[in-house]
Amino acid sequence: MAMLEVKDLQVYYGMIHAIKGVSFHVNEGEIIALIGANGAGKTTILHTITGLLTPKGGQVMFEGKDITKTPAHKIVELGMAHVPEGRRVFAQLSVYQNLKMGAYTRSDKNEIEESLEMVYKRFPRLEERKNQMAGTLSGGEQQMLAMGRALMSKPRIILMDEPSMGLSPILVNEIFDIIQSVSASGTTVLLVEQNAKKALAIADRAYVLETGKISLDGNAKDLLNDDSIKKAYLGE
């Protein structure tokens, strides 16, 4: 059984039909990439999965349970984390407070402390800046914080919306390494990326989204070599 399954999703913004019947699934332990042009609806899908948006039609199943109508905060408790587009860090809280907020659903102090150590190890810059107000961090620093914050909930599946956006090349590589290591440590990953090449390189399978519909899907490595993908998303 798939860990996360989306069935015939229909999402509207007022009259705008943004998602027109999207279905896909994510198996436990996989890295799934969701790629597509600007405005294709990737962010909308993630928002719908984590309950920030309510779909007009279709279903979201998580570990066999229908979570279509489950409120966002309950979904987090089920073990799903979401690194939102545009980082959405708590600008007036310190880096440390932001990270603690990520562990909101957890109660064991020692385990939280452990996760904090783990995050600091992955992102040493965050430890250096732990008392700085998050709003004054540079763009890249904020991205790291958003990721670190999501990891603090010790999720079984993590949804990432363009985590490499605005990062320096070295960090982009690092982020993809981190995604792989997060995956290796047993967390399932649903990855939305503009950097299709890198995303496909680490993903198991991928879906291509075009104006609210899945236009293509398959093994990530195969898609990497697909001519139409190369032309449309890899700029080759």
Ligand X SMILES: Nc1ncnc2c1ncn2[C@@H]1O[C@H](COP(=O)(O)OP(=O)(O)OP(=O)(O)O)[C@@H](O)[C@H]1O
In the list another protein, Mg ion, ligand X, none, the entry touching 188 (Cβ below 5 to 8 angstroms by class) is none
Q: Does 180 bind another protein (CB under 8 A)?
A: no
From the CB of 88, what's the least distance to another protein, in Å? 4
Q: Does 234 bind another protein (CB under 8 A)?
A: yes
Q: Does 91 bind another protein (CB under 8 A)?
A: yes
106/221 with CB nearer another protein: 106
From the CB of 114, what's the least distance to ligand X, in Å? 27
Q: Pattern of binders to another protein over 32-51, x per CB under 8 A? A: ---x-xxx----------xx
Catalog residues that contact ligand X under the rule CB under 6 A.
13, 16, 18, 36, 38-44, 85, 136-140, 166
β 65-66/57-62 pair status: antiparallel
Residues binding another protein (CB under 8 A): 14-15, 35, 37-39, 50-52, 71-73, 76-77, 81-82, 84, 86, 88-93, 97, 100-102, 104-105, 125, 135-141, 143-144, 149-150, 153, 162, 165-174, 194-197, 231-236
Residues binding Mg ion (CB under 5 A): 43, 85, 139
